[in-house]
Amino acid sequence: MIPGAEEHFVAELESRDAFAAALGMHVPDEWPPQFYDADAIRWTLGYVRENPDHGGWSFYYLTLPAGVDQPATVIGAAGFKGPPNADGEVELGYGLVPSYQRRGYATEAVRGMATFAFAHPRVTTVVGQTIQTLVGSIGVLEKAGFLFDGEGNDPHAPEGEPVLRYVLSRRRYNEAMSSRAPRLRSG
């Protein structure tokens, strides 16, 4: 994950080639991920400009390092919709280009973002919202330990699409992390 910077968003609005040069990575032809359009880029650019000390509660590019057969590549976008609110909730979002979906990258990113969020004592709950027709996105949230919490609210969702709200509480996160921790045998 690479934090998005003002120069990345400006270049992204210019062209895919400008974006690739600013990021120093290969940008697939299918860029950008679904729902990460010019309006989302402009909103994120405005947020970063207005909140230069956002403390990590912002935007990240999901990337793969260079390999034998592939240059370093940007494969998706993820981020928080700002710092925790008064109730200790923080909302995340994510998306991958189609050719990199269903490989575990989004789940890994969401788990990493949850770990980042719960490292901050103010955070009590991480929220993920998606639309009913994005079955893959629902699967990502469920694999990352989120539980369905009812109807959501996203003014940017496509008209007529039900929004679903998923949550991961600090308690559930801590329990999941404890069960993944290596156990020491006594004796």
Sign of CA dihedral 149, 151, 156, 160: positive
pLDDT at 181: 59
Which tens digit of pLDDT belongs to each residue from 2-40? 999 999 999 999 999 999 999 999 999 999 999 899 999
Domains of the chain: 2-180 (3.40.630.30)
- H or E, element range at 136: helix 135-143
Which residues share a beta bridge with 59? Answer: 79
Residues of the chain with pLDDT under 50: 184, 186-187
User: Against a cut of 0.85, is the pTM above it?
Assistant: yes
From CA 99, how far away is CA 87, in angstroms rounded? 37
Q: What angle do CA 16, 8, 35 make, to 5 degrees?
A: 65
pLDDT at 179: 75
pLDDT at 187: 47
pLDDT at 12: 96
Residue among 45, 55, 39, 54 nearest 22 (CA): 45
From CA 32, how far away is CA 12, in angstroms rounded? 9
State phi, psi for 17 to the nearest 5 degrees.
Answer: -65, -45
